[in-house]
Structure 1
Amino acid sequence: MIWVGTPEGMEARLIPSRGFVFLPVEAGGVYGLGPRGALRGLWRIARGVRQAWQAMGRLRPQVLFTTGGFAAVPAALAAARAGVPILVYLPDLEPGMAVRLLARLAAHVAVTAPEAQPFFRGRPVTVTGYPVRRRLMAAARDREAARRRGRARWGFAENLPVVLVFGGSRGARRLNRAVDRHLEALAMEAQVLHLTGPADLERMQARRAALPSEIRARYQPVAYLEEEMGEALAMADLAVCRAGASTLGELPLFGLPAVLVPYPYVRRHQERNAAYLVRHGGAVRIPDEEIEERLGEVVQELLRDPDRLQGMRRSMGALAQPEAAERLAALVQRLAASTPYPEKRPAQGRAG
């Protein structure tokens, strides 16, 4: 397996550290950058197509799997010209510009939920669900054991609910401010594991130290979780988080009810994701501009209504598709087997 990404992206560091081959290819954004920025993006895409075209001649891939984004465009254009079948997977509920473009070149499209199928009329589409990491799958399979480990790890008592607040690997400044504002009220009602991101960790640790001693242990701020995230999800009774694509897989897998706060600056992706989970009864939504005012009230209302929370838990769990990764892998293998890479190698010069 070869991972294609931009030289300056996070993947350039992460992928080699996990033991995979990383192929750097230039790419650039076009949308919302103005005329000059768009021209620079197009120039970088053109350079990236040439780099990817030449690499395909050496590496001879049998299939290209992509989830979209501007970084995927050069490799996908080169693959289409080289006759390499493309599998496009849409993690969110609504495609961005890159996925819409790449789907036209794809041999097959995979989507997380049936609601996304209408965006790809005329293309072969399979609903796979959202693939979840193996460690999370393991925690979900033995949720009770993971729940006990999590409560022991963070020193949480068994007789109080746990609220998990997270906003991605870098945290979410707005969520952090909301927790800061409502912390005493939250800690009187529940135990809170708060993934702050590195930027706000020190401030929230100081905030914890200033809490009354009788509730201080109920609040645990940490920068970020990786290996322990399964335990956190398993022990939580309620999540407060953004509505990125991973919530469509991880929250249902653990049957975890959520207060969703869609990030407003990524077009409509998170709004669509949140609407899907709310419509199916597993979550409630608070607009980003209201979360600092309403967080305490909404969390308290949910925790004080166990019947409602249990209903949300059942509804969220009903959306789980734990076989998603296997379904996607099967599609990749099917395309690779049905269309072997052409014997003739692409030319090593210009792609067009």
Structure 2
Amino acid sequence: MKKIVFTGGGSAGHVTPNLAIIPHLQEDNWDISYIGSHQGIEKTIIEKEGIPYYSISSGKLRRYFDLKNIKDPFLVMKGVMDAYVRIRKLKPDVIFSKGGFVSVPVVIGGWLNRVPVLLHESDMTPGLANKIALRFASKIFVTFEEAAKHLPKEKVIYTGSPVREEVLKGNPETGLAFLGFSRKKPVITIMGGSLGAKKINDTAREALPELLKKYQIVHLCGKGNLDESLQNKEGYRQFEYVHGELPDILAVTDFVISRAGSNAIFEFLTLQKPMVLIPLSKFASRGDQILNAESFERQGYASVLYEEDVTVKSLIKYVEELNQNNEKYKTALKKYNGKEAIQTIIQNISEA
């Protein structure tokens, strides 16, 4: 039986692509383990899946000054030792890393054990963890073709983003029933990430009187961001977040208004949903969402509304343009084959 160790954490985005790959390896009888941090979100997610989980020490990698920068390099070094010992015991045939600060000790520990390491980079430019890890990797899978120019060419394989099977299996009738919607108007799903996005939330709600004339709205507004005054608004449903219902909601969705995190927008792409993308500004991030969104716009999958340009008027205008050009967007979206991402990654894992 072949063995694999997965790693990646710090945020759900560094875990969910692993969850898209793992069931396919389970079908092929791989022995699967996961190495992550003691208290990271990955621990909660992976243990729910019943996959053996091993914790290691890890320090956060920061680009800015913080007193913790003095302590954290020592935690990373201890993490490398923890990972080295654990990998030596597990004896995997290959390690698959999705990035995040916890992955660096695991990648180095695997390299020291002479285990092949495969990385996956979600964004157009590598994050700090993958910048460090890539020198220890034998192959680097990229989500965006444009990302190749930032990485060693001999290691790069373009795959796109692996998408979880359950996301693709939503039932539109179940979605309509859950939402209490009808077929009479198109459905727009608005998402601002797990914590929500204040500007998107506020602007979308201000635009409701106009939007609800032509559309039904699903608003995933993030924890603590419900507006009680809108709970019974006809044609409008708001949730802090959804779990099992999300595939059914996406199945009935016609258009999406969203941030431009890589994993989410590739789910919309695979489901062929035209998008208005509102990326995090450079002031709030390293600019990766802006690059992601602009790539999708170039390929005809989405239109980009920059955060500083978000107003009620501009939001309504972009939604109307999306609706009017729906067929053009659909034609472009159909060119992408999301299933190839998992197939290519599985093949390379098997050959490692």
* TM-score bracket for this pair, using the shorter chain length: 0.7 to 0.9
2:166 is aligned to 135
Q: Does 1:298 align with 2:346?
A: no
Q: Name stretches of at least 5 consecutive residues in structure 2 with no aligned partner.
A: 1-31
Q: Is the 8 A contact 2:172 2:251 kept in 1?
A: yes
1:12/1:298 CA distance change after superposition, 3 Å = same
User: For this pair of structures, how many residues does the alignment match?
Assistant: 318
Q: Secondary structure, in 3 states, of the residue corresponding to 2:206? A: helix
Q: For 1:87, which of 115, 118, 141 is the aligned residue?
A: 118
- What is the aligned counterpart of 1:156 among 168, 171, 181? 181
Q: Is the 8 A contact 2:168 2:271 kept in 1?
A: no
State the alpha-carbon separation in 2 of the partners of residues 320 and 230 from structure 1.
18
Give, in whole Å, the separation in 2 of the partners of 1:292 and 1:24: 45
DSSP 3-state at the match of 1:88: strand
Correspondences of 1:248-327 after superposition (within 5 Å): 248-264=265-281, 265-293=284-312, 294-303=314-323, 305=324, 308-327=325-344
Match of 2:213, SS?
Answer: helix
- Distance in 2 of aligned mates of 1:28 and 1:178: 37
Aligned partner of residue 199 in structure 1, secondary structure: coil
1:245 and 1:29 map into 2 onto residues whose CA distance is: 21
1:182 to partner: Cα distance: 1.3
Deviations 1:145-165 (A, max 9, x none): x22321222121212111000
How far is 1:247 from its partner? 3.3
Give the structure 2 partner of residue 180 of structure 1: 205
From 51, 73, 96, give the equivalent of 2:82: 51
Q: For residues 1-352 of structure 1, what are the structure 2 equivalents within 5 Å? A: 1-34=32-65, 36-139=67-170, 146-201=171-226, 203=227, 205-209=228-232, 216-264=233-281, 265-293=284-312, 294-303=314-323, 305=324, 308-335=325-352
For 2:73, what is the secondary structure of its paired residue? Answer: helix
User: What is the alpha-carbon distance in structure 2 between the residues aligned to residue 195 and residue 50 of structure 1?
Assistant: 41
Tell me the amino acid that sits aligned with residue 117 of structure 1.
A
Report the CA distance shift for 1:262/1:61 in structure 2 as closer, same or farther (over 3 A). Answer: same
1:75 shift after superposition = 0.8
Deviations 1:115-148 (A, max 9, x none): 2222223432221221111112333xxxxxx223
- Larger deviation: 71-80 or 308-317? 308-317
| Distance in 1 between residues matched to 2:153 and 2:276, nearest whole Å | 36
Distance of 2:145 and 2:162 partners within structure 1: 15
Q: Output the CA distance in 2 between the equivalents of 1:248 and 1:160.
A: 23
RMSD over equivalenced CA pairs, Å: 1.8
Q: Answer whether contact 1:108 1:124 (CA < 8 A) is retained.
A: yes
Taking structure 1 as the reference length, the TM-score comes to 0.85
Counterpart Cα distance in 1 of 2:223 and 2:153:
45
- Matched AA of 2:53: F
Counterpart CA distance in 2 for 1:122 and 1:256 is 32
Question: What are the superposed Cα offsets for residues 43-79 of structure 1, whole Å, 9 maximum, x if unpaired?
Answer: 2111111111111122112211112221111111111
1:234 positional shift: 1.9
Taking the aligned partners of 1:311 and 1:129, their CA distance within structure 2 comes to 22
Q: Which one-letter code corresponds to 2:280 in the other structure?
A: Y
Write the deviation string for residues 226-250 of structure 1: whole angstroms up to 9, x where unpaired.
2222222221111000100113421
In the TM superposition, residue 292 of structure 1 has moved relative to its aligned partner by 4.0
What is the alpha-carbon distance in structure 2 between the residues aligned to residue 112 and residue 260 of structure 1? 17
CA distance in 1 between counterparts of 2:199 and 2:53 reads 34
Assess if the C-alpha contact under 8 Å between 2:163 and 2:338 holds in 1: no
The residue identity in structure 1 corresponding to 2:322 is L
1:177: Cα distance to partner?
Answer: 1.4
Change (3 A) 1:121 1:14: closer
Give me the whole-angstrom Cα distance separating, in 2, the residues matched to 1:110 and 1:137. Answer: 22
**CA distance in 1: counterparts of 2:220 and 2:334, whole angstroms:** 23
> TM-score w.r.t. structure 2 length?
0.85
Question: Which amino acid is 1:272 matched to?
Answer: L
Cα distance between partner residues in 2 of 1:23 and 1:121:
31
In structure 2, what is the Cα distance between the partners aligned to 1:263 and 1:153?
30
Aligned residue for 2:276, secondary structure, equals strand
Q: What per-residue deviation string (whole Å, max 9, x for no partner) do you get for residues 186-236 of structure 1?
A: 2122000111122112x2x42244xxxxxx320011122222222222211
**Deviation by residue 1:259-285 (Cα, 9 ceiling, x = unmatched):** 101112230211111011100111111
SS in 2 for 1:69: coil
